[in-house]
């Protein structure tokens, strides 16, 4: 039996989580089967002409790509596009499925989707990556798998603002008269219809989720930890966009103690804490975190051992299935915050739960990205920057309050206090506020279900999501 469990695919793990939650939802089996299945799967192979930068010769290479729309209970569908050599249909199906549940949990009105191209970005220059991205987008447009009211991609592993800008430009070229074309993709550069706060969104959402978990005195007492995130010893596995912002914000705003950071070429450890701002600078300058002057540096082959370090909070922020049946028994963290998608297999999770570890699941914790993507999409459809209508009005009102206070007390309020109080909300302030509200409310709802039904947090999150999606289907009159 153990051998069979070890061969579970990512998608099978997600299905296992679904089935574990299903009995607690109270929904009919037919409705559950409809919610569970991926509605549309588009697998493509497309040619791209590639020029060898050394010889100047050109050749044609065929790339493998996917776009999966898991659920159409809400439209448009929403989900990232990843560029990786590990992309396959099973992985994209699993990620699309998680997106449906993720959107439901944070009350973002999208169905779930995901896309990917089997390509390693580091193997190609910018010109070639642009060709790949534009051709992939063309294929999506041709099959009606992209559009502001159909399916809205976003960045994921191996992609970023640059690729989203290429997608937008390609879409607008093919749909030149579409008024809301900017809403066809999110995660765009701010000067190309993007939104401030999107780049940091997933990592900031991770921080809000971890902070909220640590603020529950009862739960921390059970783990023999003091309340609050301040001073908690944290380990970050993966120092890309999500891992970097999770660490930076947890340290800068939460006063967490980052004791270890792991990457593909090893991990660094320092029990006194790692200066994340300095680490970011070192990586930017040298290309590796291993050049940071830490008290301990591992060998590249021991990079996965970072997951097994003793700590209060472990944040896997890289790829899926890094915690599995082979290393689950060695995990010493008291809290695991899943910043990455699917970092724990369903079999490994059973081992971790028996050890009393609190697992804050990916389907909730890394939903910051799609939450702020929703804000960007709304901005694109409204054709207006957040805060434009009322920032000055609110600022003037506060200035009036300060003037009244000064006239009553007979003295001036210090300038720094005036500026802090009077300043109207910029777009990024509103985005962060909306994200914080979403993450706090969603955590509390999930925790209440967990307590009420005496189940683990991932199962509670799935119960919440499946019930919400089920309500949508029932409102359509398709299911009783």
Backbone phi and psi for residue 428, each to the nearest 5 degrees, phi listed first: -65, -35
Is 114 noted as a catalytic residue in this protein?
yes
Largest CA distance in the chain: 79
Q: Which residues contact 79 (CB under 8 A, 6 or more apart)?
A: 68, 95, 96, 99, 112, 113, 114, 115, 153, 154, 156, 370
Tell me whether strands 77-84 and 111-118 are parallel, antiparallel or unpaired.
Answer: parallel
Interatomic CA distance for residues 428 and 141, integer angstroms: 31
Contact assessment for residue 270 and residue 296, using Cβ atoms and an 8 Å cutoff:
yes
Which whole-number Å values give the CA distances from 192 to 308, 430, 451, in the listed order?
42, 19, 44
Catalytic residue chosen out of the listed positions 36, 114, 188, 283: 114
To 5 degrees, how large is the angle CA 19–CA 24–CA 30? 60
Residues labelled catalytic:
114
């Amino acid at each position: 039996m153990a051998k069979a469990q070890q061969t579970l695919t990512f998608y099978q793990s997600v299905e296992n989580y679904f089935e574990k939650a299903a009995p607690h939802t109270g929904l009919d089996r037919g409705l559950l089967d409809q919610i569970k299945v991926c509605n549309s799967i588009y697998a493509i192979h497309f040619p791209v002409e590639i020029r060898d930068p050394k010889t100047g010769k050109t050749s044609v290479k065929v790339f493998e790509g996917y776009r999966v729309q898991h659920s159409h209970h809400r439209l448009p569908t929403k989900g990232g596009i990843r560029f990786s050599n590990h992309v396959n249909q099973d992985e994209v199906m699993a990620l699309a499925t998680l997106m449906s549940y993720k959107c439901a949990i944070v009350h973002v009105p999208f169905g779930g989707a995901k896309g990917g191209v089997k390509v390693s970005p580091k193997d190609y220059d910018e010109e070639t990556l642009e060709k790949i991205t534009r051709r992939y987008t063309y294929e999506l447009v041709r099959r009606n798998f992209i559009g502001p009211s159909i399916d809205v991609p976003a960045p994921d592993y191996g992609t970023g603002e640059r690729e989203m800008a290429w997608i937008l430009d390609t879409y607008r070229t093919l749909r030149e008269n579409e008024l809301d074309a900017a809403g066809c993709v999110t995660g765009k550069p701010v000067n190309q219809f993007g939104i401030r706060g999107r780049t940091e969104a997933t990592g900031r959402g991770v921080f809000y989720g971890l902070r909220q978990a640590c603020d529950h005195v009862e739960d921390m007492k059970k783990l023999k930890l003091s309340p609050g995130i301040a001073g908690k010893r944290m380990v970050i596995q993966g120092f890309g966009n999500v891992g970097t912002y999770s660490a930076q914000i947890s340290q800068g705003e939460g006063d967490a103690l980052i004791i270890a950071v792991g990457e593909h070429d090893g991990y660094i450890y320092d029990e006194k804490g790692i200066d994340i701002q300095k680490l970011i600078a070192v990586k930017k300058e040298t290309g590796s975190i291993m050049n940071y002057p830490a008290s301990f540096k591992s060998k590249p082959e021991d990079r996965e051992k970072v997951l097994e370090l003793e700590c209060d909070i472990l944040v896997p922020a890289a790829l899926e299935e890094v915690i599995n049946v082979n290393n689950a028994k060695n995990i010493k963290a008291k809290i695991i915050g899943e910043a990455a998608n699917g970092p724990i297999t369903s079999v490994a999770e059973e081992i971790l739960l028996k050890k009393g570890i609190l697992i804050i699941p990916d389907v909730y914790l890394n939903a910051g990205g799609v939450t702020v993507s929703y804000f960007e999409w709304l901005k694109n459809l409204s054709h207006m920057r957040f805060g434009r209508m009322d920032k000055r009005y609110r600022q003037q009102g506060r200035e009036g309050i300060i003037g009244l206070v000064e006239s009553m007390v007979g003295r001036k309020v210090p300038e720094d206090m005036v500026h802090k109080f009077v300043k109207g909300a910029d777009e990024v302030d509103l985005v962060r506020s909306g994200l914080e509200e979403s993450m706090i409310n969603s955590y509390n709802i999930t925790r209440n279900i967990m307590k009420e039904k005496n189940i683990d947090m991932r199962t509670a999150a799935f119960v919440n999501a499946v019930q919400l999606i089920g309500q949508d289907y029932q409102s359509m009159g398709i299911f009783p």
